[in-house]
Each structure stands twice: as structure tokens, then as C-alpha cells.
Structure 1
Amino acid sequence: MAPGWIVLVAILAFAHGSAAALDLSLPELGDPAARVLSSQEEARIGQQMMREIRREVALVDDPAINAYVRDLGTRIATATDMPGAAYRFFVVDDPRINAFAMPGGYVGVHSGLITASRNESELGAVIAHELAHVTQRHIARRVAATQGVNLRTTALVLAGLLIGSQNPQAGMAAATSGMASGIDSQLAYSRDHEREADRVGMRILARADLNPQGMPDFFQVLMDDSRYRSQPPAFLSTHPLTEARIADARAIARSIAPSEIFESPDHAFIRARARVLSAENPDEAVEAFAARVQSQPDRGNRYGLAYARIRAGDVDRARRLLDTLASEQPEHALLVLARAEAAMADNAPEAALAELNRGLSLFPDHPALTLTRVEVHLQSGRPDKALAITRTLSHQQPNAPEVWSLHARAASAAGDDDESALAMAQYYAVQGDTQAGLSQLKRLDPATATPNQMARARALRERWESRIAPDG
């Protein structure tokens, strides 16, 4: 295999750097990449990779967690040097501590990263680091060093290697052993990129009014934790750390700290939800959070215990906990959500709707509250009301896969199979799988579809066919 391919595979599999000390004063690198790999070609590689990943890796479907990560990612992305770029944030259902970026602005966050972060700045630091890899075009720079790159083959190999980091058995089926060989010996090629991503990432974090100290703080937590494990956290396998690198990061963070730091109060509740959902079963989650509340009765742990009890069917005790939390801070969207979820678990859809409507009067268009209201309408046999809401949502949040999935369900329940097909086409397309989207468009029946639906299908078909990368 040609050396260029080894470098390309190594870098695009995100096997970042060596354990060399970090020089955060490293000057920014140039951008010869655009002369070889265009932004459109990067997007095509990312779409192909996302298609493969979606087939092999489980994604989190909790609307509150997805909305939070997407909002945080968008907040950080607007502080980059490419604020207008199209970014896609998604959450992988994996307890390991990791995150990754792909060509075209796709950024994956493990649920384990959410549960391991102690505050929003620590979680944001990792997202900012990965966004720096995208904005600095590190992927394109390595492709620029190769010749005769077949974009589709590149995407398939890279997706296989990335999937392998999430699911080794599936990943090795997707990546040939020949193309995957030699990666370990090529890690040094991404050393400068890793340094630049750390330094640029902390700048991004500060511009987003988050604490850049979150990066060295989280690095220190991971390093300390790895000393007591036989296998270090997944993040460290691709981002090796040294005490010198952490010390340098602390010095830089102090020099660029914003005058005011704002962290959303949602982080503690989202972290708790992710912990509950990652438990083997609800009873295990109740036991774990009961122990946490005994030792540290903060709001996040008490919320987690309430949410775990809802999922375990212990609704009355959950409500009492939520009432106490609400007395301390009555206006919090995720408390309203939990109270509605308790009502749903108690088979009381009207009470759930009352909670959600009250919450939406305080937090208009809150994604999790709105999506849950759709779920209540569907479960209580009111698909037309659900469909009316998802029609609006699909215009307001056109890049949210869960919105399109729910719109498809609502349309199907309301008997509009053509609208359901259009929605499923969009669901696949926003995740990068335009080929699956095109397949869904074939489900439309000209005999039953409205002129508007047929016109939308034609427009989508023309747009998506132009995005499909040629094989050569």
C-alpha cells in the first residue's frame, strides 16, 4: 500500500498525535488542502461515513439529550472561524468517554463523555477540540498529500476504522486489513494537528463564554482516572496526555479566560438523564442514584433519582422529589419534562399535556417539551394534532433527525403515507444518507400524493442526486 494511503487512513481515522508535550503557541498551519479537496468533496466523504456509522452504531434517541448537545454544539460552533458552516451534532449510545469529528462538519459525542464531564465547560472543551479539527481542515490537509483519491473508497475505509473504534467487530468488517495496516506507525503525522486543535479549541471555548480551563481540567480527570484502570478511557487512546501538556494548557487557558463565563444549568440534569439511560435497567439506576443522593444530594443527583423512579414505575415517589426540586427552582424546562413523563408513566395523558402546555408557555418552542407533546398526542390517539405540530417543527428544526422521524410517525398514524415517505426521506438525508433518502422518495404514490408533495419530492430528488459522489 502506498505511504500516502497509510497517512490518509491514519489521520482520517482520528488517531491523533503522540504523547509529546503540547506547544500551545504553535502557529496556525496553512491551507493547501483546498487545492486538492474541495469543501463539497469533504461533505461527500462525511455523508458516506455517516451512512455507514448510522448502520452500525447505536445513537441516543432521548429528545432532551439530543437537543442539549445540539444547542451546546451550535453555541460553540458560532464562536469558530467558520460560524456559518453546516454542522451536525449527534450522540452515540456508548458509555466510553470519547468524541470524534468527520469531514463535512459531522461531530459525534459519546454518552459516556456527557456522564464523565463535571460541568458544561468540560463537555464543551471536547466539542471545541473536535470542531477545531473541522475548521482547521486537518482532514483535507492529509488528503492533499495523496494522489488519485477515490472519494467513495476513502469514505468507506475511514468509516470502517471509525466504526471499529466504537464497535471493533463491525468496524473490521467495514475496513479491509490492508488499508487499516500501518496506522500505529503513522501516529506522529497528526501530532501538529492535535496541538493546533487543542490551542484553537480553547480559543473557541473562550469566545463562546465557556471556561477554557475546562479543557485542562477534564484532561486531568481523565489522566487521574486512567491510573486506576487496566484500560484507559477511549479518549486517551486518540488524545495521549502528559503532565507537561496539561500544564501548558492551564497556562494558555488562564491567559484567554473570558471576563464572564456562562454555563447552562441544564448540564447537571442532562448528565443525570444520560446516566439513567445507560444503566442496565431502571432498578439499577434507582439504586445507583439513591446512593449518590446519600453522599451528594445535589440537584443533578436528585433529578436523576426522580427520573430513574419514573422509568421504574415508582411515580409517586418520583413526583415528591420533583416537587421539592420545583420548589427550589420552579421555572426549569427539564423539571416540567420530567413531571410530564411521570404523568405519561401513570397513564394520565391529559395531565401530561397540561404540564407540557404550562412548560411551553414559559419556554416556547423548547425542543424536548414540544416533541414530548407530540408523543402524548400519538399515544392518546390524536394523530392529526401530532401531525400539525410536527409540520411546524420540521420547518423550525430542519436538521434534527428526531423531528423528521416523529413527523413520519405522525403522518403514518394520520393516514398520510406520502407525507410519511417524504419525512423519512428527510430523516435519512439529514444524517448524511441521501441514497436512503432517494429510496424513500420512491414510496410516493402519484395517485394519492398532493401536487405540493410531488413538487417537494422532485426538488429533493434533484438536490440529492447532485450530492452523490462518483465512484472514481
Structure 2
Amino acid sequence: MSSGAERKLGESIARELYRDPDYIDDPVLVEYVQGLWQTLLAAGRARGDVTPELGERFAWTVLLGKDRTINAFALPGGWLGLHLGLVAITANRDELASVLAHELSHVTQRHISRLVTQQNRASPLVMAAMILGALAASKNAQAGQAVIAGSQALAQQSQLNFSRDMEREADRIGLGILTQAGFEPQGFVTMFEKLQQAARLNDTGTFPYLRTHPMNTERAAEMQSRQQLAGRAPVAPTFEHAMAAGRARVLSNPGVDGLRALMAEGDSPGLAAQPRPRQAGALYAAALAASKLRDAPAASRLLTRLHALVAQDAPAQRLARLLEAEVAVAQRDGARALSLLDAEPSRRPELLLAAQARQLTGKAADSVDRLQTWVSTQPRDAAAWQALAAAYAARGQPLRAVRAEAEAQVAHLDYQAALDRFKAAQDMVRKGTAGGDHIEASIIDTRTRQVELLLREQAVER
């Protein structure tokens, strides 16, 4: 399979994942994971694992899923999926980076392409349905089997699991990328131990990662002997990672009882005896859980303790301040949220949170310039396009608002929905309700033709 064909197959799968109710674009966690991912990609390029051709053709995008199961998966064309359940169980950034490095290696070694090529009699549509069925089965066996059977690929699904040789190769290359990127190789070993322990417990479904990534004692022993790390102490967690993992626990669909348990952990008598990063993670999760449960006094009290604990750690201070602003937005106190954020936000979490806060204060139009600048360099940011649409509407620029809505759909690869919005914008121009914005009308005409071409290409692929 050519790299271009693999990219298109990956896009057809990613398009469905964007529509999945479990897909989550959480700016804080996306930024944290992207920080690790981009560092690993840079190391892969430096080592020559990510070739110039793959670097240009593949998406290299990580999609998060708010699922409690322990799973991560590489898809055709450089797309990766990562469940928040896996983020939540990692003790430090090096463990999480080890999983990302392993999945990155599956992509660079073209393992997915090799597996898909084995099904060379199947059409791209059937192959995409087969992979989506395998992913659905990781969350719901019956639903997954229904999708697979519907694609007439039930007998082939097991062939999508990586072979043990592929796993060993991804271990070896992933470890090289991990260390080149400056992460501690011990993270690979401790993550192995967690997965191996799960394998010994006869995986009850919580660890679907083990089904597509065969785990055995030989792989774990090989990793230990390769690094000779048996006598080294575990990598110490950072405040930032502990808080990111705490956020993942709250956002991974724990239910009301789960939120109450996380909130209670913040007031646990034994928490003070835990390492300080562990305390920070628990307090962060408890404050966010309290906000989700609409317990404003508890959220405020827990945030005060969190701020005191992380006062000397700049990255953790930022996360605590962002959380406080998020809680203020949840309480519809836009002015309070804006007072906690930078006046000129340059990072995505602050930018999007400030846009929400300005909507609450009736000043959504004030976000236009900042969001325009952002999407000019980040055109695949659907959330930013949606925020810009709201800001344009508040400014009285309906044509630009509709175009921004269309661009948000393009960012999620939903070209039909995007075309519908572009057509609606063209109708506004014809009816004279666009406010005489001729430059924007010209842009919309061009983008309409481009999206129509993408839709025709999709039809040919099927």
C-alpha cells in the first residue's frame, strides 16, 4: 500500500472517530499529549525513522477518547487513538511517552500497511469498516462484532492484531525514539510491568490494548535486559503529569458515583502522607469533579489547597489557574474567568477558555482577532473555528460565521457537512443577506470548489 493510499484510508477511519460520542477535544489534555508527541516525532525525524516522505504525507495526529479502558492504537496514515483510561493509569510522563513511542514505531515501520495489505481483496471501505469494528469491539464486544459482521470481515478481524515480531520491532525502535527524545527509558519498563500484570490477571476487557498488542514475559524480559534497569528507582512523577492524569480520570466517563469518589479522595485523611505530586493530582481531580457535580463551595476549597501545594511549580501553577478559570466558566462567571487568564493568550487552552468567558460577558466579538490569527496557522483546529463562528455572529458578520462553521467541519474531515454550510453561505450572498462582504464571498466560492473536489475523490475511493 502506498503512503498516499494509507493516508486516505486513515482519514476515512478518523472521520468516523471524530463522530464517535467518545471523541474528546479537551484543550488541556490535547496540549499535554501533543507536547510529548511532537517531541517524539522530532526524535523520530532526527533518527531517520520518520522519513521526509512519511513526514509530509501522514497526518501525525493523536485523537483522544473519553473511555476508561486502557487502550492506544495506531491507525493507517499516521493517526493515533489514545483513551483517557490509559493516560489516567500512567505514573509519569515517561510511561505515557513510551506508549506513544511504541505506537509511533508501528507507523514508521509500516506495520499497519502490512496488515492491511494482507486484506488486499477487500475494498478501502470494507477495510475501514473492519478496523472500526475492531475498535468498537474494544469498548463493546457485541457492538464491535455487529460492525465487523456488517463489513463481511469477521473472519479477518484477528489478522489486524500485530504479530509478536512486529511488537518486538516496535519495542526496539520505540525505545530508541524515546531515549533520543530525552525521556527516561525506565518508563518503558514500568509501563510494561503494568501491562504484564494485567495480562496475568486474564484481561477482563479493561485492557483491550493487550488484544492487539500481544504481551508476554519474553518481551518484558528483553526490555529489562536491553536497558539493565532492574536496579534503578522508578521515575519520579511531576506535578504537571499527576494533574493531567487526574484530569483524565475525571473526564473518562466515571459516572456520578465515580465523581463523588474522586471528590472524596481530595479530603482523604491519608492524602497528606502521599508524595506531593500525588496530592496535587488528587486535589486537581477532586476540584474538577466537584465542579462537574456543581458543588461550587467544595471546588473553591479544593482549589485553594491545590494552589498552595503547587505554588513553587510554574507548569502546575498554570494548570491550577486554568482549572480555576474553567470552574468559573462552569459557574457562568465570565468576568472572574477572564481575570485569571492572560489578556493576550498565546496558548490554545487559554485562548479557547477566554473565548467562552467573553461569550458569558456579552463580549464574544472581542475574540475575533485572536481567533483569526490562531486559525490562520492552525487551520485544522475545529474548536477554534467554532469559537470564531460565535465571535463573528456576535460582531454581526453572519457570512463569516457560516464559513467558520464550514471550516470546522472540514477540520473534522466531514466534507459533506462542510459543503452544506458553504452552500448556505452562497445562498446568503445571492439573497443579499451577507452584508456586502465580497472578499469573503470570493473565499467561500473557492473553498466550495475545493471541498466538492474532495467529495468526488471520496466517491472514487469507494
Q: Where on the TM-score scale, by shorter chain, does this alignment land: which range?
A: 0.7 to 0.9
Partner of 2:400: helix, strand, or coil?
A: helix
2:292 is the alignment partner of 1:320: no
Q: What is the deviation of 1:415?
A: 4.1
Distance 1:155 1:185 in 2: 15
Q: Given that residues 343 and 351 in structure 1 are in contact (C-alpha distance below 8 angstroms), is that contact kept between their aligned partners in structure 2?
A: yes
1:237 counterpart residue number:
211
Distance change in 2, residues 1:347/1:189 (3 Å): closer
Partner of 1:211: helix, strand, or coil?
A: coil
TM-score (norm 1): 0.81
Q: Given that residues 318 and 342 in structure 1 are in contact (C-alpha distance below 8 angstroms), is that contact kept between their aligned partners in structure 2?
A: no
Distance change in 2, residues 1:214/1:43 (3 Å): same
Distance change in 2, residues 1:265/1:455 (3 Å): farther
Matches within 5 A, 1:9-408: 37-80=1-44, 81-82=49-50, 83-84=55-56, 85-145=58-118, 147=120, 149-176=122-149, 179-183=152-156, 186=159, 190-228=163-201, 231=204, 233-253=207-227, 265-278=239-252, 279-281=254-256, 282-291=259-268, 293-294=271-272, 296=274, 298-311=279-292, 312-314=295-297, 315-329=299-313, 332-345=317-330, 347-357=332-342, 365-408=346-389
> Which letter does structure 2 place at the counterpart of 1:67?
E
Distance change in 2, residues 1:264/1:87 (3 Å): farther
Distance 1:251 1:466 in 2: 53
> Could you list the per-position Cα deviations for residues 248-275 of structure 1 after superposition, in whole angstroms to 9, with x for gaps in the alignment?
01233459xxxxx998752111111111
Distance change in 2, residues 1:293/1:226 (3 Å): farther
Distance 1:333 1:286 in 2: 21
> Which letter does structure 2 place at the counterpart of 1:308?
A
Q: What is the deviation of 1:113?
A: 0.7
Distance 1:220 1:180 in 2: 34
Distance 1:463 1:215 in 2: 44
Partner of 1:78: helix, strand, or coil?
A: helix
1:451 counterpart residue number:
438
Distance change in 2, residues 1:222/1:230 (3 Å): closer
Distance 1:140 1:451 in 2: 46
Structure 1 residue runs of 4 or more that deviate by more than 6 Å after TM superposition: 261-264
> Which letter does structure 1 place at the counterpart of 2:300?
D
Q: What is the deviation of 1:129?
A: 1.3
Partner of 1:156: helix, strand, or coil?
A: helix
> Which letter does structure 2 place at the counterpart of 1:341?
E
Distance 2:314 2:169 in 1: 43
Distance 2:280 2:125 in 1: 48
Task: Report the RMSD for the aligned CA atoms in angstroms.
Answer: 2.9
Q: What is the deviation of 1:202?
A: 1.4
Q: Given that residues 247 and 285 in structure 2 are in contact (C-alpha distance below 8 angstroms), is that contact kept between their aligned partners in structure 1?
A: yes
> Which letter does structure 2 place at the counterpart of 1:354?
S
Q: What is the deviation of 1:64?
A: 0.7
Q: What is the deviation of 1:180?
A: 2.9
Q: Which runs of 5+ in 1 are unaligned?
A: 1-36, 256-260
Q: Given that residues 340 and 353 in structure 1 are in contact (C-alpha distance below 8 angstroms), is that contact kept between their aligned partners in structure 2?
A: yes
Distance 1:119 1:335 in 2: 18
Distance change in 2, residues 1:47/1:150 (3 Å): same
1:10 counterpart residue number:
none
Q: What is the deviation of 1:230?
A: 6.1
Partner of 2:197: helix, strand, or coil?
A: helix
Which range is displaced more, 181-190 or 232-241? 181-190
2:405 counterpart residue number:
424
Q: Given that residues 165 and 171 in structure 1 are in contact (C-alpha distance below 8 angstroms), is that contact kept between their aligned partners in structure 2?
A: yes
Distance 1:211 1:342 in 2: 34
Partner of 2:267: helix, strand, or coil?
A: helix
Which range is displaced more, 162-171 or 194-203? 162-171
Q: What is the deviation of 1:376?
A: 0.3
Distance change in 2, residues 1:106/1:223 (3 Å): same
Partner of 2:173: helix, strand, or coil?
A: helix
Q: Which one has a larger percent helix, Structure 1 or Structure 2? A: 2
Distance change in 2, residues 1:334/1:173 (3 Å): same
Q: Which runs of 5+ in 2 are unaligned?
A: 230-234
Q: Given that residues 79 and 207 in structure 1 are in contact (C-alpha distance below 8 angstroms), is that contact kept between their aligned partners in structure 2?
A: yes
Partner of 2:64: helix, strand, or coil?
A: strand
Aligned length: 427
Q: What is the deviation of 1:379?
A: 1.5
Question: Relative contact order (C-alpha < 8 Å, sep 6+): which is higher?
Answer: 1
> Could you list the per-position Cα deviations for residues 59-112 of structure 1 after superposition, in whole angstroms to 9, with x for gaps in the alignment?
124321122222322222222222554311121010000011211221111000
Partner of 2:287: helix, strand, or coil?
A: helix
Distance change in 2, residues 1:369/1:418 (3 Å): same
Distance 1:390 1:416 in 2: 15
Which range is displaced more, 100-109 or 380-389? 380-389
Which range is displaced more, 85-94 or 278-287? 278-287
Distance 1:200 1:224 in 2: 23
Which range is displaced more, 285-294 or 437-446? 285-294
Distance 2:64 2:128 in 1: 20
2:232 counterpart residue number:
none
Which range is displaced more, 338-347 or 419-428? 338-347
Distance 1:61 1:185 in 2: 30
Distance 1:285 1:185 in 2: 37
